[in-house]
Chains A and B, each alone.
Chain A
Amino acid sequence: MDLSPDEWEAVRVSLAVALRSVAFGLPLAVAAAWLLSRRRFLGRPVLDAFVHLPLVLPPVVTGWLLLMLFGVRGPLGRLLLEWFGVRLVFTLEGAALATAVMSFPLMVRAVRLSLDAVDPGLEAAARTLGAGPMDRFLTVTLPLILPGVLAGAVTAFAAGLGEFGAVITFVSNIPGETQTLPLAIYSATQMPGGEGAAARLSAVSFVLAVAGLLLAEGLGRRMQAWLGR
């Protein structure tokens, strides 16, 4: 099965977008999960709802909201352009942002589940042994939630390879820049004689998804063993 250069380009863009979305979203997801699991504060239900919003909103609506916020005339987009010269619309970075927003709830849920399973007594023990907040997070909490963090990252990565609605609405469908695998498959099906390309790209998507699941499974098992469970 040979892919054309354009098809390889779609694979490359998809991988680049998914990787960036996880790299950017994961630290924020861990922070949000920690806040939701360990802290009781006034705006907690609001934050909880906000984090899960992309899961229930139509992806096109999420993309449209991003366009309103981060478009060159949007409040945040204009600031980014004027201060840092960064333009997100119609760029790979923009596709990564849309993908990160869409997969954010998946990461938060995975991390939060493993955070809830960590005995707060272990953190209390670390406190009595002289460990400050960041110290005990890095030496006790984070190692114990690593399987959850990893599961969240792999799930978000795999889902990010296939993000469609938010990406096409926010950054359009530009080959080599924002055309990810699903967008390329969609374009192929719209073209006469594109069935072959659609089939090849779908097969690639399938292989990547299965590889991601197997990797997560294997790493997860190894990590549990390392944690002494």
Chain B
Amino acid sequence: MLEVRLRHAYRGFRLDAEFVAPAQGVTAVFGPSGCGKTTLLAGVAGLLRPDAGRVALHGTVLLDSAQGVFVAPERRRCGVVFQDSKLFPHLSVATNLRYGMRRAPAGPGPGFAEVVELLGVGHLLARRPGALSGGERQRVALGRALLSRPRLLLLDEPLAALDVARRAEVLPFLALVRDRFAVPMLYVTHALDEVDRLADALVLMAGGRVLAAGSLEALSLRTDLPLAARRDAGAVLTCAVLAHHAGRGLSRLGFAGGELLVPLQGATVGARLRVRVRARDVSVATVRPEGLSVQNVLPAVLETIVPGQAHEAMLRLRVGESALLARVTGDAAGRLGLAPGMPVWALVKSVSLGDDRRSVEV
């Protein structure tokens, strides 16, 4: 478990953030540019000495201003992947990769050959960072941080400096690292698709403060957060691949309380898939509709109606043990006489699959 509480004032900017992140998996720190995400990360890494605060990782105190504890960054064992890689330009890729490894205490951890193979950087070992593409640089930086056997991996917008094509060169490797190694990650980003793809938990920030922290699934359903105002707002569901119907070109996904049919997936049966069902892709009907091209018509119970911006309403629908959000016009809500507790049918027009970044019509 990672406990973070930081207070810092710097040139008119105030950071006052507190959250607890799980000991496992990826916790995304998400918020607009300038909301203090990077300052927060620097405070956890020890590169910034905050005015006040406490950072503890698995019970080990790294910072406690009240007790006068400040562990120097070189002894925190927090690997950092910076936005602009910060590879040492005078050293080869191999020497860069080994820099932290040589200085880490002996113990179990990712091996050199294993990391090089996993990140696909074997053909780059003799090169200097100056001769690498942006995507290659970030993969080497990720490897360098991993090989220092960190207790926590801190990633500061590792894809933000890359164009779309280069991002696609790095994102799958981040997922591989998450799945292969047990090291917890704190992942700073302002891109929601990276959150969907990688994160298990979410810390939502704005203006130097933490608005909410919790599981991605739970926070995606909150209508009181700025997340709900986004065009891509919607419920995140963790699904398992139940079956493939090659003849129909469809795969069947199961989630707690229901099933979804999506275009045929490459993932094996039983694999875990993260799906975001965007609120604007969900319609509701008060009677079971017939003669529809839409594949997914789910029985649901309307839980809440929250008026949104510009004559819109956000509906929260309970589907079994899960929930969906639906964005409809305020007029429609009135016309259908929608009220909390009503049974409705949720029509899911498309889902975006966390595994790749396209959204698919179903």
Q: Does A60 contact B (CB under 8 A)?
A: no
Q: Which of B46, B75, B86, B130 touches A228 (beta carbons < 8 Å)?
A: B130
Q: Does A226 contact B (CB under 8 A)?
A: yes
* Contact (Cβ within 8 A) B89 A129: no
* Contact (Cβ within 8 A) A130 B90: no
Size class of the contact patch on chain A = 20 to 34
Alpha-carbon distance A136/B8, docked complex (angstroms):
27
* Contact (Cβ within 8 A) B82 A121: yes
* Contact (Cβ within 8 A) A129 B47: no
* Contact (Cβ within 8 A) B74 A131: yes
- Interface hits, A5-52 → B, CB 8 Å: none
* Contact (Cβ within 8 A) A144 B90: yes
Please judge, given known A-B contacts A130-B103, A131-B103, whether A228 and B90 are in contact too, CB under 8 Å: yes
- Of all chain B residues, which has the CB nearest A122? B86
Q: Does B223 contact A (CB under 8 A)?
A: no
Q: Does A126 contact B (CB under 8 A)?
A: yes
Q: Does B350 contact A (CB under 8 A)?
A: no
Please judge, given known A-B contacts A125-B82, A129-B100, A129-B148, whether A228 and B74 are in contact too, CB under 8 Å: no
Alpha-carbon distance A140/B148, docked complex (angstroms):
17
Please judge, given known A-B contacts A127-B47, A128-B45, whether A143 and B90 are in contact too, CB under 8 Å: yes
Q: Does B104 contact A (CB under 8 A)?
A: yes
Q: Does B236 contact A (CB under 8 A)?
A: no
* Contact (Cβ within 8 A) A125 B80: yes
A227 smallest CB distance to B (angstroms): 5
Q: Which of B80, B128, B129 touches A128 (beta carbons < 8 Å)?
A: B80
Alpha-carbon distance A119/B131, docked complex (angstroms):
18
Q: A131-B99, A228-B131 are in contact. List 19 more A-B contacts (CB 8 A).
A: A119-B86, A121-B82, A122-B88, A125-B82, A125-B88, A127-B73, A128-B45, A128-B74, A128-B76, A129-B74, A130-B74, A130-B77, A130-B100, A131-B74, A132-B74, A139-B99, A228-B90, A228-B129, A228-B130
Report, nearest first, the 7 A-B pairs whose CB atoms are least far apart. A129-B100, A130-B103, A228-B128, A125-B86, A128-B80, A127-B73, A227-B90
